[in-house]
């Protein structure tokens, strides 16, 4: 029986007078890939930022390995890899410098694999180029290089494949499969169709958009 990693119970979130979701339940266990679905503006990004702990605009409970999130936040963060809409790549730093600081922030990233990771995402030869001279896809690939260096249990990825070509996507898919085989799990959003071979769980945010909430 795979262990439950991240559990969300009765999540409720409203933005600008609109209920994005209510009574949202989600249990992400070891070895699972979850795709969050929904149209633009339905609250996918909001859900991801709640799950990773960036946003506190919600009601409901979050658990990490069965423990209330507030009590184990540090543990949770040390097992988390998050790549957001904004990739966290500084335009004025080179790919190498960017990864270097990311490693200092996140001990779950293996700094010794940085070179190899940059090579794997096809940035070999671009290590010393400031990111602002790279294309949008190349910039994103700097962030995606972290996937190759990560020892984190849970990956939360918000539209990771924007501006990434087919071959790149396939490589990341293979990486994700490898990750879940090793007992990790992934929560992600994407507009692209993933390969049918990936065992995918899906959750549609819009299914939780209507609310029978009793306003207290």
C-alpha 194/C-alpha 200 separation (Å) is 9
Whichever of 70 and 178 has its CB closer to other proteins, that residue is 70
Contact pick of 4, 69, 93, 175 for other proteins (by CB under 8 A): 93
Report which DSSP code applies to 195: P
DSSP 37-69: E--TTSSHHHHHHHHHTS----EEEEEETTEEH
Whichever of 39 and 85 has its CB closer to other proteins, that residue is 85
How does strand 33-37 pair with strand 200-204? parallel
Contact pick of 37, 60, 100, 110 for other proteins (by CB under 8 A): 100
Helices 95-105 and 136-149: crossing angle in degrees, nearest 10, is 40
User: If binding is defined by CB under 8 A, does position 31 make contact with other proteins?
Assistant: no
C-alpha 53/C-alpha 69 separation (Å) is 9
Q: Which of residues 157-216 bind other proteins (CB under 8 A)?
A: 214-216
Q: Which of residues 43-62 bind other proteins (CB under 8 A)?
A: 49, 52-57
C-alpha 203/C-alpha 28 separation (Å) is 11
User: If binding is defined by CB under 8 A, does position 18 make contact with other proteins?
Assistant: no
**Nearest-approach distance from CB 170 to other proteins, in angstroms:** 25
Whichever of 92 and 167 has its CB closer to other proteins, that residue is 92
CB 122 within 8 A of CB 137: no
Residue 204: strand pairing partners: 37
**Nearest-approach distance from CB 96 to other proteins, in angstroms:** 11
Q: Which of residues 110-149 bind other proteins (CB under 8 A)?
A: 130
Binding site for other proteins (CB under 8 A): 49, 52-57, 70, 74-75, 77-78, 80, 82, 84-93, 97, 100-102, 104-107, 130, 214-216
């Amino acid at each position: 029986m795979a262990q439950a990693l991240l559990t969300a119970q009765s999540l409720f979130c409203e933005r600008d007078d609109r209920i994005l979701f209510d009574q949202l339940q989600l249990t992400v266990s070891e070895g699972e890939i979850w795709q969050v679905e929904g149209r633009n503006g339905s609250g996918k990004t909001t859900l991801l930022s709640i799950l990773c702990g960036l946003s506190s605009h919600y009601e409901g409970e979050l658990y990490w390995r069965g423990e209330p999130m507030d009590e184990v936040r540090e543990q949770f963060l040390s097992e988390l890899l998050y790549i957001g809409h904004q990739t966290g790549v500084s335009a004025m730093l080179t790919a190498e410098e960017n990864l270097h600081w990311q490693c200092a922030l996140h001990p779950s990233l293996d700094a010794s694999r940085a070179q190899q990771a940059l090579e794997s995402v096809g940035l070999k030869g671009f290590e010393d180029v400031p990111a602002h001279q790279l294309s949008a896809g190349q910039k994103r690939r700097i962030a995606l290089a972290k996937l190759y260096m990560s020892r984190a249990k849970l990956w939360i990825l918000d539209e990771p494949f924007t501006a990434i070509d087919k071959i790149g996507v396939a490589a990341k898919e293979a990486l994700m499969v490898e990750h879940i085989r090793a007992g990790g799990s992934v929560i992600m959003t994407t507009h692209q169709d993933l390969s049918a071979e990936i065992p995918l769980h899906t959750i549609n945010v819009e299914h939780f958009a209507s609310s029978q909430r009793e306003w207290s």
